[in-house]
Structure 1
C-alpha cells in the first residue's frame, strides 16, 4: 500500500508519538516547584506503600516519621518490623507497642506503611447513645458519609471500654501479616479512659491499596494506653470529619516492595486482620 520510503517515515512518526528509545535522566524539581506541588495536594489523603504489600510481608520501609509529618497531621500506620501501631494527631506521632507501652517517636524512625492527611474538619457533631458499641457507632456515622468518598475522622470522649491491639515485632524472613498476627498480636482491654481515636473511612474501590471501611487507632488522654481499635463502648462522642479530595500513593523504593506478590486477592486476609 505504501512505498518503503513512506513506511519508514510512518514508523518514525509513530515512534515520535509514543516515545523514543532513549532514556533521559530525571531532573530534581526546584524548591519552589516542590512547594507548589505539595500545596496542590493539601486536601488529599497521602499514603506510603499499599495495604497488600503489608499483607504480603513487606514490613520495612525507608520513609522517616519526619518526612511523614510533612504530609499530614492526622493518621495511622505502623513501624518497621511491625514494632507497634502508629498514631498521629495534631502532627505528633506516637508508637503503641505490644506490651501496651506508649512512646513519642523521633523524626528518624522508619515506617513500612502509613495513611495521613492534613486534618481540617468540615463537619462536627456529637453522637449520644447509652453504651454505644463500635459497630453501632459505625452504622450511625455511615449515615453522615457518602460511601464513594474518602474521609479522615477524629473521635473523642470518655470510653468505659476499649478493646485495642498492637503487634509484636516480626523476625526475618517475614511471614504474611495474617500469619504473624495469629501468634504475635496482643490485645488490651482498656477501662474508663478518656482519649481520641483517629482514622479513616475509605470506599470499597480502594481495596487493593488501603483498607475499605473504617480504621481507627486510639490513644488515651494521658498518653499511657491505646492501639488499633477492635471494639469500644461510649455514651457520647465528639466527631470531627474531614472529607478528602483525593489520594496520593508513594511506593517504597526497595526490592522487598518490588518482589512482593501484589496480584493475589487478599480480601479475606484484610477481613481476618480487621
Structure 2
C-alpha cells in the first residue's frame, strides 16, 4: 500500500464534532428522532448517522444530507426529516493523505490507526476519503414502527446489504477514542456515498484502488441527549458491547 502524507497543518481553532444521542441509546432501540436535517446542517457539512424510526443510514457530504434506501439507492433528505443519531462536523483544512491500493477496510483502519497514534489517540478525528473503489460492501435498514426493538433485532430481520463495484465515491469516517466507547463506536466508523449520489450505506468492507483524504483532528465534542421518556427510562449501561461491535462491523 502506498501511504504518504503532507505535514500537519491544523487550524488553531478546531471545529467540534457534534453528536445527536448516544450509541447505547440507539442499540437499546431509541429511534424516535432528535433533530431535523435542517437543524443538523447547522452543526456540520460532513457526517454520518441514522434517520428516525431506523429508516435508513444517513450520510452528510459537502453540506448535503442523503438517506440510503432499502435497495441501496441514495436520495436527498428533506430539511424537515428527523434524525435519531448522527455525528457531524465542519471539515476544514487539515492533513492531506494519499492512498494507493487498500485491500480491505481492516487494512484502511490499520493505516489510519497509525496516523492517530502519531497525532494523539485520545483526540477525535473526522476524515473524508475521495477515491476509486473496486468494491464497497455496505448496508442500510428498513423503517420500523413503535414500540421499537433493540437495534440488533432490527438488523437480524430488516438489514439490507449490497456490494457496489467499480465506482468512484467518498468515505466519511469518524474516529472516537476508546474511553468514549458506548457514547459512540470506539475507533473508526465509515459511511459511503458514490460520486453520482446514487448509492451508499454503512460500510463494513471495501477495496480501494486509490484515494485522497482530508483528516481533521479535534479536541472539542458537543452532544445533545434525547428528550423523550424512553431515553430517561433506559438502562443504557445494559447496552451490550458485543452487540455494539457486531452492529458496527456488520456481523456475519
Normalising by structure 1, we get a TM-score of: 0.82
Q: Distance between the aligned counterparts of 2:125 and 2:189, measured in 1?
A: 11
2:153 is equivalent to residue 182 of structure 1: no
1:118 to 90, 93, 97: 90
1:71 to 43, 64, 80: 43
Q: Deviations over 1:237-265 (max 9, x none)?
A: 21110111221110112112112221214
2:115 is equivalent to residue 141 of structure 1: no
Q: Is the 8 A contact 2:46 2:89 kept in 1?
A: yes
Corresponding residue SS for 1:263: helix
Larger Rg: 1
Corresponding residue SS for 2:170: strand
Cα gap change, 1:73/1:42 in structure 2, threshold over 3 Å: closer, same or farther?
A: farther
1:263 to 215, 237, 241: 237
Q: Is the 8 A contact 1:100 1:225 kept in 2?
A: yes
Q: Distance between the aligned counterparts of 2:239 and 2:68, measured in 1?
A: 29
Alignment of 1:1-274 (within 5 A): 43-129=15-101, 132-145=103-116, 146-274=120-248
Aligned-residue offset at 1:213: 0.8
Q: Distance between the aligned counterparts of 1:259 and 1:184, measured in 2?
A: 26
Corresponding residue SS for 1:132: coil
Q: Deviations over 1:185-242 (max 9, x none)?
A: 0111100110001020111011121111110110000011110001000121211101
Normalising by structure 2, we get a TM-score of: 0.89
Q: Is the 8 A contact 1:42 1:118 kept in 2?
A: no
Q: Which runs of 5+ in 1 are unaligned?
A: 1-40
Cα gap change, 1:230/1:66 in structure 2, threshold over 3 Å: closer, same or farther?
A: same
Corresponding residue SS for 1:217: strand
Q: Deviations over 1:161-187 (max 9, x none)?
A: 000000111122211001110111011
Runs of 4+ in 1 over 3 A off after TM superposition: none
Q: Distance between the aligned counterparts of 1:116 and 1:104, measured in 2?
A: 17
